[in-house]
Amino acid sequence: MICGAGGQLGQKLIGAARTLENVRIFAYSRSTLDITKPTELRAAFAEAKPDVCFNAAAYTGVDRAESEPEKCREVNVEGAGRLAAACYEAGVGFVHFSTDYVYDDGYNRPLQEGDRTLGTSVYARTKLEGENTVLKHHPDAYILRTSWVYAEYGQNFVRTMLRLGAERDQLGIVADQVGSPTYAADLAAAALQLVNAAAPAGIYNFSNCGVCSWYDFAHAIFEMSATDCQLNPICTEQYPTPAKRPSYSVLDTRKIGRYVGTPRNWREALHECLQKLS
């Protein structure tokens, strides 16, 4: 059972599950299952009778969340918790997704699952509270923390860069925030492998390997897509946003790597996504 099936990750989870044999997929986008609505949840559970449920539904408008904290919390905490509780009661496995934003932004080495958490924006705090609520209601759940997610569809940095690169002669892109991009297809495959491997429950980081700034990421997107647009590095203060972003969010993926293998490099994954787009 896949919730939030209309999103970037949800669509990739459907694709990854289709490659498995003897699996029936019940995929629900927001229009068929709003995870904040208990009656819709009961109906979907009665229909799907799942063995495992993947929750790709989330309020992901990081900046919008600053002015809509209750709406954000309703999905990322209440909805996720209700889904986790329903799964636990029915003996259904549960896989939930979270974010690098939950980590304390005070580290200068790859972030490990046991590191301090904080959450400096509404979105980050609701995702952190969501993790705790999920684990409270479903102690056997998997939580995958990920970062800088993109796919051929949806709202993401890759598509924004391609659009802006076609419209403008030059762009200023933040160069003092570093992290690791994650191709949603790789995240979806890893989530399925983690379940198949019967890995121990708990929190796992997942991103593609390698480190870059948003500027480096944009540079690679333009280089690989032969986009003719000049890029200028800028600092965070020159691009103010309502929600604060971490300056360092590189995830240490060794824990999940033991069960699903080492994630491929972000450039290789980006290349595949851009090829599919073209």
Nearer to ligand NAP, 36 or 121 (CB): 36
Q: Which one of 103, 123, 215, 248 is the catalytic residue?
A: 123
- Residue 217 burial by CB count (10 A; 0-12/13-18/19+): exposed, middle or buried? buried
Half-sphere exposure of 145 (CA within 13 A, CB side): 29
Nearer to ligand NAP, 214 or 222 (CB): 214
For position 206 contacting ligand NAP by CB under 6 A, the verdict is no
> DSSP character for 201?
S
Of the residues 117, 146, 225, 249, which one makes contact with ligand NAP according to CB under 6 A: 146
Separation of alpha carbons 179 and 110, rounded Å: 9
With contacts defined by CB under 6 A, name the span among 51-59, 108-116, 195-203, 217-225 that binds ligand NAP.
Answer: 51-59
Q: Can 101 be counted among the known catalytic residues?
A: no
Of the residues 26, 45, 54, 59, which one makes contact with ligand NAP according to CB under 6 A: 59
Asked if residues 249 and 206 have their Cβ atoms less than 8 Å apart, the reply is no
Nearer to ligand NAP, 55 or 225 (CB): 55
For position 75 contacting ligand NAP by CB under 6 A, the verdict is yes
How far CA 160 is from CA of 85, 182, 205, in Å, comes to 37, 16, 25
| Closest residue by Cα to residue 102 from 37, 146, 48 | 146
Separation of alpha carbons 100 and 248, rounded Å: 9
Nearer to ligand NAP, 170 or 256 (CB): 256
Nearer to ligand NAP, 3 or 221 (CB): 3
What percentage of the chain's residues is helix, strand, coil (to nearest 5)? 45, 20, 40
For position 253 contacting ligand NAP by CB under 6 A, the verdict is no
* CB 182 to ligand NAP: min, Å: 7
For position 30 contacting ligand NAP by CB under 6 A, the verdict is yes
Give φ, ψ of 66 to 5 degrees.
-60, -30
The contact pattern for ligand NAP, residues 230-249, with x = CB under 6 A and - = no contact, is --------------------
End-to-end Cα separation, the chain, in angstroms: 31
Of the residues 13, 27, 56, 174, which one makes contact with ligand NAP according to CB under 6 A: 56
* CB 239 to ligand NAP: min, Å: 17
- Residue 132 burial by CB count (10 A; 0-12/13-18/19+): exposed, middle or buried? middle
Of the residues 58, 173, 212, 221, which one makes contact with ligand NAP according to CB under 6 A: 58
Residues that bind ligand NAP (CB under 6 A): 3-4, 6-10, 30, 33-36, 56-60, 75, 79, 97, 99, 127, 146-149, 154
Residues with catalytic function: 123
